[in-house]
Amino acid sequence: MSKLLTIILLFVLCTVALAQDKETPTLSVRQVSGIVLDSAQNGVSGAVVILKSAADTLNAISNEEGVFVFSRVKSSVFSLTISCLGYLPLVQKHLQSDSKNLIVLKPIQLRTEAFHLKEVTISGKVGIKYKQDTVEYRASDYKVMDYASLKDLIKKMDGFDVDAEGNLTHNGETIRKAKFNGATYFGGNVKNAIDELPAEIIERIQVIDDYGEQARFTGLKANSQKVLNVVSKPDRSVGLLSNLETKGGTRDQLKAGAGLKRIDGLDQKGVGIVYAQKPLGITEQGITPVVSSGMDKNKDLNLVWNKSFNKVDVENTYSFSDRVVHSFKNVSGSEFYDDNSVISKSEIETDVKDKKHQLNSKINYHLDKNQDFIFGALLTHQHSSVANDRNTAYDGLQRQVQSLNDYHRTSKPSFNINGLYRLKLNDAGANLAITAQIGRELMDRDRDQQNKVVFYEDATGGGINPARYRFGFFTARQQYQLSVVLGYPLSHRESLILQASSNYNSTKNHSSAKVEDSENSWRYIDSLGQQFEYKNIQYPVLVSYRYKYKEYEVAIGAKTIFTGLKTLNALSGSNSDKIFSRISPDVHLRYTGSNNLQFSLKYIGEITAPTFETVQPLQDISNPLYQRFGNTELKPVFAQKIDLKYNQYFNSSGVYLMLAIGVGLAEKIVENQFLKIEDNVYIRETRYINSRNNRSFQSNYSIGKRFSGSGYNLNLVGMFQYQDNKIANNFIFSKNNFYSLYQNINLAFTLKKCMETKISVIYLYNRMSYVASDHNFFEQRWHAVVDGKAYLDNTFNLIYELSQQIVSGLPSNTVRNPFVVNLMAEKRFLKAKNATFSLGVSDLFKASNFVNRIAAVNGITEIKTNANSRLFMLKFQWAPQKWSGSKSKSGVRNSDGSFKP
């Protein structure tokens, strides 16, 4: 009986289950999504995904994270075909439930493609990839020698340039910050990152246009900075880096430093200490000519402590610097006033002492999936002193000799606190971001100055009696900013961005002046003292419509800015209060194709309020022969610029193309200069005025060809710049024109792992024209450079740079065609070969004797280099490192290299 009841019960349950199953409706359409990954579990962008079923055939392209979505799939039985350049194609068949309206597929992993030809395997190269705000390079596409650094790797990549000082640029734009696997690398120091990180651990290099946290949440893209993100190999993401360095050489060169760092994503700890002294203008490579003689001594301490907790990420960086600089310069100048000119020759000796403490903290609190709060604080205290002795002889219109002794001390504490709160409003992706910032700086400065002027024509040495002044300045600056941004999706392709902001800046200055009389007593000068306050307030309001479809992205909007300027002079009782407004379009167009092509067009319009220094009515007699007066009637200036960029990489041929064009039309605040005579002494008086129609044009371009398998790389890099600026003399507007042309064609190659060489031919032409005075200056240089490394064995190499210049347009008392030779021998030792001895010489034949020419408002300034530029140096460095994989539970990474929780 019990068995019968059991059978009946099972029958009833099965019948109910079948009945319920029959009642479940069959859907006519469903959404299917998935992600395409490579062997390192990184998203593959640009993969073509084809879905085929009996009902339809659909196509999709994976985004920068590797994600693809089919929104209206008619059948639950389908096949997928996935293909991408550099990977083997993959076919999958799927049978899904008819009742599920959202189908998320398991991750799809592609394998790198390989070609086999006569027993020689050539790995498929991915090449340069463009992903919206990111340009990505694969490290495996480039060959480097053993023990190579990130700097050695980057130098082989198209678009990058590393100068002698270690500054890194990409397509002509400076990279400001460094990251490692998506996390800021020990404060973001780019020079340290490219020097310290070894090439062997690197999988990818990314150059990112970073628009900040607000843009990440809302999509509002305003000002950006270039960021270098280094993505390591998955099993080389955790590192312990140490460094011990000492160096000495001729002309009192000395350096000693030590450091210890550990990095595991956001968890970072580091300490570094350095003491260094070197002749001015000398770099680590010893190849930059000295602009002036003298000595630079500095002590630096850096501490980093970053930690990631459950919902909180904390970043802390502390730095201390103590710098002492003694310099001596020979400076020549030419100034043009109508039909007259003033020629000057100066000897300037300067002593600078500067101490600075800085603490930078950031807390990122992930409240939940809908809320984030970011808090940041920057605290700084700086104390400096400057002693300046200047002796100048003037000729031409002005024939006199000036002796100026100037000493001032400055104490400057400051703080800046900022916060951002993000709230997700709905599941469609609407986000509200509120940003607030408060800043304050107090500057207390004392100045002691003595000036003497003597006339040529006065045989008795007559002139202006020496005058000694003492100045006191106390300046308080305050800044308050509030911004509210709403990013609201209108559909899966469209969105609307609204922004309202308030920017408040206030500067209060209290100054006094005293002069020493004939009885060595001090009396106040009322005309040189002031109590002045300046405020500028801006209210920008932005409305922007964004449309994104496949490879296309369009943003069209308008920005209205109301600007208020207010001044108050407590001593004179005068004040002014003015309001200005301006409407500026906001246009961004971009195309990022799967064929490694990117094109963008951007219109930028910015309004800038006058600075405190140009507005304050106080007479500045820091140099009594060059007196300055502010102008309380200045107006805000509007600058507009159109930027066009084109980038493309042809993976099949290894050809790289880049073109960037910028056209600008700007209002500016310019210096109006004229000569006046007081007590038979010529004095230049400068007052600030508004000018219009200042034009500029700049183009950067690059063409590169990489010859696969041969180790040869041919590049042409160029730049053309033109500026048409308004200048004023005696309130009469004129203009000066500046032209600059730069061409660099170079061939880099590697010979059988025994030599890396780059041969460059460089042409530089600069021309400055002053229309009113009909004066023209030009500088032309042909420059041939051979530089590289010769590897005598696996542990011993010779670094060389041979440079020949042909120069015209510079003064005759310089070396016209200098031949500069820089050499360094480097030996690696110890078991891990992480210790090096280096012996080097810069400018072996002492030929680096140049003039640094600088364009002034109505003339030029030329600073002679130091003729004693030959230096010998001996260096020891021990830099052991240990790298391992992350202990992340998921083992899956985001596109920036960070591991998913």
| Predicted local confidence at residue 268, as pLDDT | 96
Instruction: Please tell me the predicted confidence (pLDDT) of residue 827.
Output: 95
CATH code of 104's domain: 2.60.40.1120
Phi then psi dihedrals of residue 488, to 5 deg: -125, 115
Last residue of a domain, one of 47, 77, 109: 109
Question: Looking at the structure, do residues 215 and 137 belong to the same domain, yes or no?
Answer: yes
Distance (Å, whole) CA 18 – CA 11: 11
What total number of domains does the chain contain?
2
User: Does 582 reside within a domain?
Assistant: no
Q: What is the CATH number of the domain that holds 167?
A: 2.170.130.10
99 in the same domain as 141: no
Identify whether residues 103 and 159 lie together within a single domain. no
Query: In DSSP terms, which residues pair with 687 in a beta bridge?
Result: 629, 672
**Which residue positions in the chain have pLDDT lower than 70?**
1-26, 40-41, 86, 112-126, 281-292, 338-339, 455-466, 622, 679-680, 708-710, 730-733, 771-773, 810-816, 849-850, 857, 865-868, 889-891
Whole-number Cα distances in Å, 295 to 28, 250, 858: 79, 12, 32
Q: Which residue is associated with the tokens 């968890």?
A: 267
What six digits make up the tokens of 493? 């392709």
What are the Cα distances from residue 599, in Å, to 65, 358, 645, 657?
A: 20, 40, 6, 11
In a shared domain, residues 84 and 165: no
Residues 135 and 226 occupy one common structural domain: yes
Residue 216 lies in a domain: yes
Same domain, 171 and 217: yes
The pLDDT value recorded for residue 434 is: 96
Measured CA to CA in angstroms, residue 195 lies from 165, 178, 263, 276, 879 at distances of: 12, 12, 16, 18, 11
Q: What pLDDT, on a 0 to 100 scale, did the predictor assign at position 875?
A: 96
Q: Are residues 144 and 100 in the same domain?
A: no
Residue 392 dihedral angles phi and psi, to the nearest 5°: -130, 135
Domain that holds residue 39: 30-109
> Which distant-in-sequence residues (6+ apart) come within 8 Å of 18 by Cβ?
none
For residue 500, the cross-strand partners are 484, 541
Q: Do 82 and 133 belong to one domain? A: no
Are residues 104 and 183 both part of a single domain? no
- Domain membership of residue 793 (yes or no) is no
Give the DSSP H/E element, type plus range, for residue 5: helix 2-23
Does the residue 764 lie in any domain? Answer: no
* Domain end among 51, 78, 109: 109
Tell me the β-bridge partners of 257. Answer: 245, 274
DSSP assignment of 776-792 equals EEEEEEEEEEEEEEEES
pLDDT at 14: 43
Chain centroid offset of residue 518 CA: 53
Tokens 């660099």 locate to 744
pLDDT of residue 850: 66
Does the residue 587 lie in any domain?
no
Q: Does some domain include residue 523? A: no
Same domain, 159 and 204: yes
Identify whether residues 163 and 83 lie together within a single domain. Answer: no
Q: Is residue 44 part of a domain?
A: yes
> Same structural domain for residues 136 and 93?
no
> What contacts 469, CB < 8 A, 6 or more positions away?
447, 448, 449, 450, 451, 513, 514, 515, 516, 525, 621
Residue 41 covered by a domain: yes
> Strand 225-232 to strand 173-180: parallel, antiparallel, or no bridges (unpaired)?
parallel
700 contacts 718 by C-beta, under 8 angstroms: yes
Which residues are bridge partners to 724 per DSSP? Answer: 695, 737
Last residue of a domain, one of 109, 142, 176: 109
Determine the pLDDT at residue 467.
Answer: 76
